[in-house]
Structure 1
Amino acid sequence: MTATTTTPANGVRPHTPAPAAGPRPRRRLLPFSKWHLLLAPLGIIFALPMVWLVLSSVMSDAEINKFPPALWPSGIHLDGYRYVLGNAMFPRWFANSLIVSAVAVLSNLVFGSLGGYAFARMRFAGSRVLLVLMLATMAIPFQLTMIPTFLVMKKLGLIDTLGALIVPSLVTPFAVFLLRQFFLSLPRELEEAAWIDGCSRLRVLFRIVLPLSRPALATVAVLTFLSTWNDLTWPLIAINHDTHYTLQLGLTTFQGQHHTKWSAVMAGNVITVLPVLLAFLGAQKSFIQSITSSGLKG
């Protein structure tokens, strides 16, 4: 059975209006977001100290000490880099900082994950009180804890060793709290399905939870590396011999009471900043994702 169409007696079909077109997208006046007009100048302002540091590292001491200061080097002077890299202790200082920072990062990832998962998923007597007490320690300034920490390290026989720098940084309340908050955002159904299959809590943590927590783990790793690598106060208290100096502590030896080799100081700071900059650029995507997202989408 076929459908038939009827036409008016005059043989002219009525005009059917075309469907109204939607509003045309507004043409953008700029090829980028208008927020870039504000963020670009701010980015340049924040980058100026780094640019000045790099330029100063290739200046001579005379140009750095000149008044008014020179804004641009007259040439590429690498005396500061030669002085820093020619120092026999500089590779040792770099290795000490790398060892202390690497151990601190790994231990915070392991212990922070265990503690954060326990506070997020396990309920035990006094868990909330213990969590509040742990978070309260973040409000205590380091000036109040450095003497008790020094006495503890002295009792353990770790003063003037790298162990005195590693042990107090093995786990931080910030790492435990950040990972706990991220674990709370993950759906419990994934863990319950693993429990039904016979997985233990530790296996669920390492096989299910941690692979989903890479943004939070990257954030903890970057912030821990940054704070440990740049630490000067505690190494200045706990370390006496130059063979155990970290990079930050070793750079202070380039500044004397009557004379400071500023080109070497600037060159040393450029070398010191590079690992931190590379670490942040490598984990930038995960770092931003951990800030902007919470748990799984969809």
Structure 2
Amino acid sequence: MSVTSTLPEVDRLADELAPPAAGRRLTAKRRGPRLKPAKRVLLYVLLAALTLLIFVPFFWMVSSSLKHNNQVFSIPIQWIPTEFVWSNYVDIWTRIPLLTYLKNSLFLSVTITFLQVLTGSFAAYGFSKMRFKGRDVLFVIYIATIAVPWQAYMIPQYIMMQNAGLVNTHLSIILLQAFGAFGVFLMRQYYMTIPDELSEAARIDGLNEYRIWWRIILPLTKPALASLALLTFVSTWNDYMGPFIYFTSNDLWTVQIGLRSFVGQFDAEYAMIMTGSVISVIPIVIVFLLGQRFFIQGIATSGLKG
């Protein structure tokens, strides 16, 4: 029996045995007695109030970025500026090399996210779909590294990078963060919901483990991949200590270090500081809005089966 002729049969089996969509699972779990109209209205009001409360700091930051420096901490607080100072969003680019900082942050975030998704999903496949002696023990030991604080191995890591001549290069951060135990754990939890019959059928048809992972498993785990990508991107973008330790050249700085340096030099220019903060948050908001649907599905389904 040829591999080409039987691949459609594997695809059909994948469609039949694939885990149900997260939306259907969540709907099934939510079934139960409906709330009374009064309770439902009260719940919506409570959720709306909590949402507004969460957005208060962000709204204040945006409002402050459109004011003059002496108006940021005025009492009483002016939530809506009397005069919108749009020039702040023009001047910030000339005060600091913000474009360079954003490029560095974007490069590191995209590169590390890609590598973590690749290595995390591949390692998770081995821990969930392949059988070898000591697999579960090795997985527990690997996941246990999450509990080790970064400060415990921060100095040995720096010495390693220094001996390798990688300090003050982007490659140092990329190599240190290209692998993550949390990503392996997240992807393995999702892989465990995929029936093993899919992998067995693919092996019978002659596919090796690499092609099973690429051809069968990955297409079924898009929500988990999106969740891991979103979490990794946000974590890398907001990272301050890593770039602060390894980057000494201003041309390599990320937006977090750049803004901190700006605060140290111009600590009284509050409006400009808020302007830079708003600009640094925009990429995170865009990424989250684009991937929130997959993020919710991935987190929900990854925790349904241990």
Shorter-chain TM-score bucket reads 0.7 to 0.9
- Structure 2 distance, partners of 1:181, 1:63, is 50
Is the contact between residue 97 and residue 247 of structure 1 (CA under 8 Å) also seen in structure 2? yes
- Would you say the 8 A contact 1:97–1:229 is kept in 2? yes
Instruction: Give, in angstroms, the shift of residue 211 of structure 1.
Output: 0.6
Of stretches 232-241 and 185-194 in structure 1, the one that deviates more from structure 2 is 185-194
Match of 1:121 in 2: 129
The count of corresponding residues between Structure 1 and Structure 2 is 272
The residue that corresponds to 1:180 in the other structure is: 188
Asked if 1:137 is matched to 2:145, the reply is yes
TM-score by length of 1: 0.85
Q: CA RMSD in A?
A: 2.3
Deviations 1:84-104 (A, max 9, x none): 222462111111101100011
> Which one of the candidate residues 91, 101, 110 is aligned to 1:93?
101
Letter in 1 for 2:180: T
Q: For the residues of structure 1 that align with 2:278 and 2:130, how far apart are their CA atoms?
A: 45
Aligned to 1:70: 78
When you count helix as a share of all residues, which structure comes out higher? 2
Q: 1:213, 1:61 → 2: CA distance?
A: 49
Once the two structures are TM-superposed, the CA of residue 180 in structure 1 deviates from its matched residue by 0.8
* RCO higher in structure (CA 8 A, sep ≥6): 2
2:68 matched to which residue of 1? 60
CA contact (8 A) 1:185 1:295 kept: no
Gaps of 5+ in 1: 1-25
Change (3 A) 1:94 1:258: closer
Return the alpha-carbon distance in structure 1 between the equivalents of residues 280 and 149 of structure 2: 26
TM-score relative to the length of structure 2: 0.82
1:56 to partner: Cα distance: 0.8
- Letter of the 2:258 partner, please give it: G
Which residue of structure 1 lines up, in the alignment, with residue 24 of structure 2? none
Moved more, 207-216 or 34-43: 34-43
Partner residue of 2:44?
36
Moved more, 133-142 or 213-222: 133-142
- Are the equivalent residues in 2 in contact too, given 1:79–1:263 (CA < 8 A)? no
Matched, 1:164 2:175: no
Give, in whole Å, the separation in 1 of the partners of 2:275 and 2:108.
22
1:48 maps to what in 2? 56
Matched residues in 2 for 1:153 and 1:205: separation?
Answer: 32
Supply the distance in 1 between the matched residues of 2:153 and 2:199 (Cα, whole angstroms). 39
Q: 1:151-192: per-residue Cα shift (whole Å, max 9, x none)? A: 111111111111122111101100011101110110112222
Higher alpha-carbon Rg: 1
SS in 2 for 1:275: helix
Residue number in structure 2 paired with 1:204 = 212
8 Å CA contact 1:254, 1:261 repeated in 2: no
Quick one: distance in 2 between partners of 1:287 and 1:78? 34
| Unpaired stretches in structure 2, ≥5 consecutive residues | 1-33
Counterpart contact for 1:105–1:225, Cα < 8 Å: yes
